[in-house]
Structure 1
Amino acid sequence: MIKRNLLVMGLAVLLGACGFQLRGTGTNELALKELNVTARDAYGPTVTQLRKQLSASGVKVYDGAPYKLVLSREDEQQRSASYTSGTRSAEYELTTTLSYDIVGHENLNLLSDKIIVDKTYTQDSNNLAGSDQVAQETRSEIRRELIQRLMLRLQQITPQQLDKLQVEADAKAKALAEQEAEAQRIRDATPQQSPLQIPSK
């Protein structure tokens, strides 16, 4: 009995060292506990699924949160990946690029990044309806992977890091405002030249 318990404990330690976690026992919580999430398509599938994923990870998603995650662009590109003997495309590669920003107080941008996911699917020229369904399934897989990668990146961000970025952004905005004010003061203090008068003959 003792040997069996020691064996079980040893396996648990070994698996834990390898990064293995039983489903439901690992932590996928974010250090950020409050976050606003917006997108160009406010009710699109990506932002909707992301909000659900964030909520499931213990994040309170609401409009008045201190920091805002903005899904600024979601672009899809499609290209032919291979061809049949009749030069018709047999495979397509879908590439989706998700650009995002994290915005702080006074709508100051704290960081910007993007995630790129690409997948290939086969199109059957004899079954276009089925091929369309495969394409949609591929887009859904890409979306899930985009959200998964974004969640992994958000897990690396702490409120302290965002607070530091906010201080730096505030200082930069203040410096720019002071420069603009000084430039305006110089313009106001500079006498305006009268239009050149050309004597009439």
Structure 2
Amino acid sequence: MVCIAVVTLIAGCGFHLQGAFTAPATLERTYIATNDQYSQFYRELRLQLQDAGVQLVDTQAESTATFSILYDETDQRVLSVSARNVPTEYEVYYTIQYAIDGTDSRLLETQDLTITRNYTYDSRLVLGKAREEELLREAIVRDLVRIVLKQISTI
């Protein structure tokens, strides 16, 4: 009986578990505008929005909000080289720029986010390092989406 009262009290005050995303009502039916429907960020964002109960629509006309991905780019660059001019450390980065518009006003101004991760490179472990780079990109995308969802929850 006491447990039920505590749960009701906590739920009533708006408490949410950390990481739990509740979509604002203005995003009930959202259209995602992007130039690259195959990017890692776009796919992860769609998945997380759907998991949060947001209905993703195919046209802007049917939507209550438009999530515009204005820039979506990932790459890597050399951070350091050995004495023999061989790369020994790389930086993987992912940059996005986005904005959210409602039916009659801008809900979230243009936001720029960049996340970087470094990894060491060893030419004897080419396959393992390629997989490490792939895993770093996936982790970066999850972090970007988590940050975006946190910003969206303030709308």
TM-score by length of 2: 0.74
Aligned to 1:43: 38
Map residues 47-86 of structure 1 onto 2, 5 A cutoff. 47-63=42-58, 64-86=62-84
More helix by share: 1
Q: CA RMSD in A?
A: 2.8
Kindly, what percent of the aligned residue pairs are identical?
23
- Deviation (angstroms), 1:150: 0.8
- Deviation (angstroms), 1:58: 2.0
- Report SS of the residue matched to 1:69: strand
Aligned to 1:143: 141
Aligned to 2:22: 29
Q: Distance in 2 between matches of 1:42 and 1:68?
A: 15
1:36 maps to a residue whose letter is: Y
- Contact 1:38/1:69 (8 A) holds in 2: yes
Counterparts in 2 of 1:115 and 1:109: CA distance versus 1, 3 Å: same
Segments ≥4 residues shifted beyond 6 Å? none
- Deviation (angstroms), 1:148: 1.0
- Deviation (angstroms), 1:35: 1.5
Unmatched 5+ stretches in structure 2: none
- Report SS of the residue matched to 1:150: helix
- Deviation (angstroms), 1:75: 1.9
Q: Distance in 2 between matches of 1:113 and 1:27?
A: 22
From 85, 88, 108, give the equivalent of 1:87: 85
2:43 maps to a residue whose letter is: T
More strand by share: 2
Aligned to 1:123: 121
- Report SS of the residue matched to 2:123: coil
Q: Which has the larger radius of gyration?
A: 1
TM-score by length of 1: 0.59
Counterparts in 2 of 1:154 and 1:130: CA distance versus 1, 3 Å: same
- Report SS of the residue matched to 2:124: coil
- Contact 1:38/1:47 (8 A) holds in 2: no
- Report SS of the residue matched to 1:97: strand
